[in-house]
Amino acid sequence: MTITEIGKTAKETAGAIGILGSAQKNDGLKAAAAALLEGEAEILAANQEDVIKAAASGMNAGLIDRLELTPARIEAMADGLLSVATLDDPVGEVLSMKVRPNGLTIGQKRVPMGVVGIIYEARPNVTADAFGLCFKSGNAVILKGGSDALESNKAIVKWLRTGLKNAGLPEDAIQLITDTNREVTKEFMRLREYVDVLIPRGGAGLIKTVVDNSTIPVIETGTGNCHIFVDETADFDMALDIIFNAKTQRIGVCNACESLVIHREIAPRFLPLLKERLSLKSVEIRADEEACTMAEGFVPATEKDWGCEYLDYILSLKIVGSVEEAISHINRYNTKHSEAIITSDYNNAQKFLNEIDAAAVYVNASTRFTDGFEFGFGAEIGISTQKLHARGPMGLKELTTTKYIIYGNGQIRP
């Protein structure tokens, strides 16, 4: 089908999905989850085609980690759909209802967006997550994945559609654009007649391209230059554990720690311990001039390092003299995603929470928790770093809008 035909089909299907009851949508999600598991062998084989091509093209380890599927990851995708099925359905929720002096009863009701378009890079798990959240919130979804994950996405969508068919529900609730031509992607970004909202999910280049070229309203999901500030009161063991987890648990994700800020008072004692701990994963530390004198093996940082999302076993490190200086540095270079402080000082914690400009701000915890599943949303459509409509992990409610509903008994305006 052409892009226009895909758009028309989605618009027609959205009307049918938007009036489904919660039980029908939950049945569809359960059937889709079962179908993913049924198609596991085919999905894994398709994914290996993508991984082999990606490795041959020189894709870095962090991005290959995002791309690669395993039986456990497919099971997690299915579990995500089942989890979404257990969540409260936001569609139809009445947010308020008030009686005006003229007798009109005016309220707001939560309704689906309609057609959601998603453009994303080599993360095939997004295919299932996006479908699950869009379907439960009553939306049709058009997906445009990256060419690196094309075979994986085709297999996943095939089995999701099979699940919907098995449940007697419209297969076109999910459609995948398989043409990898950039002009097709640009055409998709201008399909305003049929697509109600467009969500880019990927690196800075992809997001900028969508924001600059789309005529469809965009919900911007951001890159993650995430910081951890270790203040002068921090527990060293806690700090080392959190940093190690935030940096190395998965390097190719947007909520991984990319930058450290360390208080000058503890730096001479803490930095050798940090270097030893991160050496377990061969993490390269690009540090400022002062920090380079405190531990062996640090690489001198450049200005570019302070704002870099590495998606690799690399960290930047800055020494500061106060919580105020730490906040200033972080707010200058962060991407408004996730920031953390490790501290035993209540006042420092509260100041950090209040003054850091980011979608998620942590005290004594890893930034890796900025995730829809971890926040109890079942899955996520992306992590919004903008400030309009949605901010942070986007779940079901963020894929709905509202309309006013008005009850009268014959009122006319004088």
Amino acid identity, residue 354? N
Largest CA-CA distance found in the chain, in angstroms, rounded:
81
- Distance CA(26)–CA(30), nearest Å, equals 6
With beta carbons less than 8 A apart as the criterion, state whether 77 and 129 touch. Answer: yes
With beta carbons less than 8 A apart as the criterion, state whether 62 and 252 touch. Answer: yes
DSSP 127-168: HHHHHHHHHHTT-EEEEE--GGGHHHHHHHHHHHHHHHHHTT
- Distance CA(17)–CA(21), nearest Å, equals 9
What are the structural domains of the chain?
1-220+380-405 (3.40.605.10), 224-367 (3.40.309.10)
- Distance CA(311)–CA(253), nearest Å, equals 7
Token pair belonging to 37: 């598991």
Contacts of 76 (CB under 8 A, 6+ apart): 125
Among all chains, which residue has been given the structure tokens 């009686």?
A: 99
- Check residue 175 and give its pLDDT: 98
Q: Please check the confidence at residue 123 and state whether its pLDDT lies above 90.
A: no
- How many angstroms separate the Cα of 172 from the Cα of each of 51, 111, 160, 197? 28, 20, 10, 17
Confidence band, pLDDT 50/70/90 cuts, at residue 202: confident
Among all chains, which residue has been given the structure tokens 């949508």?
A: 25
Q: Which helix (H) or strand (E) holds 351?
A: helix 346-355
Using DSSP, state whether 356 is helix, strand or coil: coil
- Check residue 201 and give its pLDDT: 86
- Check residue 61 and give its pLDDT: 81
- Quick one: average pLDDT of 291-316? 94
With beta carbons less than 8 A apart as the criterion, state whether 191 and 111 touch. Answer: no
Using DSSP, state whether 342 is helix, strand or coil: strand
- Check residue 388 and give its pLDDT: 76
Token pair belonging to 279: 């050496």
First to last CA, the chain: 52
- Check residue 203 and give its pLDDT: 77
Handedness of CA 54, 57, 62, 63 (dihedral sign): negative
Confidence band, pLDDT 50/70/90 cuts, at residue 249: very high
- Quick one: average pLDDT of 257-276? 97
Q: Please check the confidence at residue 156 and state whether its pLDDT lies above 80.
A: yes
Handedness of CA 392, 393, 397, 398 (dihedral sign): positive
Phi-psi region at 130: left, alpha or beta (left = phi > 0; alpha = psi -120 to 50): alpha
Among all chains, which residue has been given the structure tokens 């894929």?
A: 399
Least confident of 30-34, 247-251, 263-267, 389-393: 389-393
Helix axes 125-136, 22-38, angle to 10 degrees: 160
- The 10s digit of each residue's pLDDT in 83-122 is 999 999 999 999 999 999 999 999 999 999 999 999 998 7
CA geometry: angle 113, 114, 116, nearest 5 deg: 80
With beta carbons less than 8 A apart as the criterion, state whether 267 and 291 touch. Answer: yes
3-state secondary structure 160-205: HHHHHHHCCCCHHHEEECCCCCHHHHHHHHCCCCCCCEEEEECCHH
Q: What is the mean pLDDT of the chain?
A: 94
- The 10s digit of each residue's pLDDT in 13-58 is 999 999 999 999 999 999 999 999 999 999 999 999 999 999 999 9
- The 10s digit of each residue's pLDDT in 321-336 is 999 999 999 999 999 9
- The 10s digit of each residue's pLDDT in 353-410 is 999 999 999 999 999 999 877 888 767 787 888 777 788 888 899 999 999 999 999 9
The strand pairing partners of 340, in sequence order, are 228, 362
Token pair belonging to 323: 């919580």
Selection from 269, 238, 267 nearest residue 341 by Cα? 238
Percentage of residues of the chain with pLDDT beyond 90: 83
- Check residue 387 and give its pLDDT: 76
Q: Report the DSSP pairing between strands 226-230 and 257-263.
A: parallel
